[in-house]
A and B are shown apart, each in its own frame.
Chain A
Amino acid sequence: MKILVCISKVPDTTTKINFKENNTKFSEENVQWILNPTDEWYALVRALELKEKLGGTVTVVHVGKPDSDPIIRKALAIGADDAVRIDAEPADSYFAGAQIAEYARGKAYDIIFTGKETINYNGFMTGGVVAESLDLPFVSLAMSLEMEGSAATIKREIEGGKEVVKVNTPFVVSATKGLAEPRIPNMRGIMAAKTKPFAVAQPAAGSQFTFIKSYELPAQKQSVKLVKSDNVAELVELLHNEAKII
């Protein structure tokens, strides 16, 4: 199995979000950057499990500048064999996906994994852009994936249940909860990551279709109305008369 895993860099899940320059830029002050959770926990780990069972290689690919190197090293420490950083700011999600597709083109990857979404822009974009650019089948929101020869059986999340699908390699798949259990890098992995192959690739000519003009924070809630626990009928009353929701 020759596997490529797309990884992204995002603010840590506990980050308080702030904007600057008249709300036109995301403030990176005090932001801790992490590997995007679904990329790390599910896509990368399932790729490694397949490699351990069937042999082959797992390469991680990332679109970003040198400040992304720590998260790429983490992916190597968890167990990827080698890494490629495409040296460009990911201008928008189409740009990033198309860069990965151009990098992967002609390299005969059997499976290209991504996480279902990044937790910064929540677009669910990368897998679909890569698949369409390379004219490959795409299975999104995979909760389990089993290989038999070149055929994969995947359960994907649909509204109210799961859909069972079959697809042959090569294909693109996006990962969600259930696909694997997160792995924590151990000391040996962290040491090994320092000497694993890590290439920096020049970006292909790319297009940007969208840009962010401004940001807003959600409106503050009015202070909570508390109801006594021995008078929950009052809550029902409020939901009916005030919120008009029941």
Chain B
Amino acid sequence: MSVLVFAESAEGKFRKSAREAVSYASKVARKLGKETIALALGTIDASELSGLGKFGATKVLHASDPRFDKFDSGAFTKAIAQAAQKINAEVIVLSFSNNGKALGPRLSARLKAGIVPGVNSLPETGGEFVVKKSVFSGKGFANFVINTPVKILSLSPNSMPVEQTEQTAAVEPFSVEITDKDFGVQVVGVEKESQGVPLPEAEVVVSGGRGLKGPENWGMIEDLAKILGAATACSRAVSDVHWRPHHEHVGQTGLTIRPNLYIAVGISGAIQHLAGVNGSKYIVVINNDPEAPFFKYADYGVVGDAFDVVPKLNEALKKYFASNN
């Protein structure tokens, strides 16, 4: 019996969410007194593979079949299911990433294994297997019990700190029984939209709303994001009128994010927006309306005109980083 973790990769490297998932899996395995075995699919650098040991994997199964360089939820599900059966996995950990969100339900249906998608803490394993996840888009939490022998957990990005050790993992080739027919979805291209950190994985997020008055005013928001190494986001109102691309929309009907720091500029803080961001560790609100509901949910606030406050904040941050680096 062991804990299997699928470590998602892109362009030969593991994603940040994969390192988080491996570290999380090893903590689950420690609780259960089991071994942590990672599965990697496709072309991946050798040092990356053994490097998963640092995050707690004792062994890495690697299926180097280059067909896995492109994502198909059906083929990937078969591969993970075969690995789970081979090592007799009791718990399977996935990332709650865009691909992981497609894999979880397929794997659950294939293995008849209960899943809690989007967990953000460790399970209780004493008696019942109980794990907490955010529900109602962040307006509450639910403690789910999984009552199948095999259990699947997919981990929300940015929700657990990554622990590092000096360990290296043994890498073992793994052959997946798969045919071309299993790849029903063909990836024919990728259009990159942001150069920096992808929003769901970002530790710092700078977000703008209607208070910015127009898309031409986003320069200072992008400057602030650049200074902080942050991703940019926006409210629904802003993405609905196409001031910003759809993928930046955070809130109940957009993305739910959990950065360490969320800076909201010119966003009043409607309940639907709060739902998508209230898992953030710290929230800073900049708004000229002292009655904006967002201030009730913020750690720090500045009441003032964004066009005055943000450029000043940018200068203050530049000064800070210049003297602290």
A contacts, CB < 8 Å to B: 11, 13-17, 19, 37-38, 41, 92-94, 97-98, 116-117, 119-129, 131-133, 135-141, 143, 153, 155-168, 171, 174, 176-178, 207, 209-218, 221-222, 224-230, 232-233, 235-236, 238-240, 243, 245-246
In the complex, the answer to whether B141 meets A221 with C-beta atoms within 8 Å is no
Whether the pair B73, A224 counts as a contact (CB closer than 8 A) is no
**In the A-B complex, the 9 residue pairs with the closest CB atoms:** A128-B105, A229-B304, A137-B184, A209-B114, A159-B198, A132-B109, A160-B198, A124-B101, A140-B102
B112 touches A164 (CB 8 A): no
Query: Which of A17, A123, A243 is the most central at the interface, judged by chain B CB atoms within 10 Å of its CB?
Result: A123
Total interface residues on B, CB under 8 Å, equals 103
Q: What chain A residues lie within 8 Å of B324 (beta carbons)?
A: 240
* Assembled-state Cα–Cα distance A143/B193 (Å): 14
Which label, helix, strand, loop or mixed, suits the secondary structure of the B interface?
A: mixed
Asked if B172 lies at the interface with its beta carbon under 8 angstroms from chain A, I say no
Where the two chains meet, the residues of B that have a C-beta atom closer than 8 Å to any C-beta of A are 15, 71-74, 77, 97-99, 101-110, 112-118, 128, 130, 132-148, 184-194, 197-201, 204, 228, 239, 246-247, 249, 252-254, 256, 260-261, 271-272, 275, 278-279, 281-285, 295-305, 308-309, 312-313, 316-317, 319-320, 324
Nearest residue, chain A, Cβ from B313: A232
A-chain residues with CB within 8 Å of residue B112 when the two chains form the complex: 207, 209
Give 13 A-B contacts (CB < 8 Å), ordered by A residue: A94-B105, A120-B136, A122-B117, A122-B134, A122-B136, A128-B103, A138-B74, A141-B98, A141-B101, A160-B194, A209-B146, A224-B295, A245-B260
Question: When the two chains form their complex, are residues B194 and A214 in contact, meaning their CB atoms are under 8 A apart?
Answer: no
- Once the chains bind, are B193 and A160 in contact (CB under 8 Å)? yes
Q: Which residues of A contact B141 (CB under 8 A)?
A: 215-218
- Chain A residues with CB under 8 Å of B138's CB are 218
In the bound complex, CA of A168 to CA of B185 (Å): 8
Q: Is the CB of A161 within 8 A of B190?
A: yes
User: Contacts A161-B190, A209-B148 hold; do A138 and B185 have CB atoms under 8 A apart?
Assistant: yes
Contact present for A133 and B109 (CB under 8 Å): yes
A218 and B278 form a contact (CB under 8 A): yes
Least CB distance, B8 to chain A, in whole angstroms: 10
Q: Contacts A121-B135, A212-B142, A243-B282 known; A94 to B115 CB distance under 8 Å?
A: yes
Docked CA distance A39–B81 (Å): 29
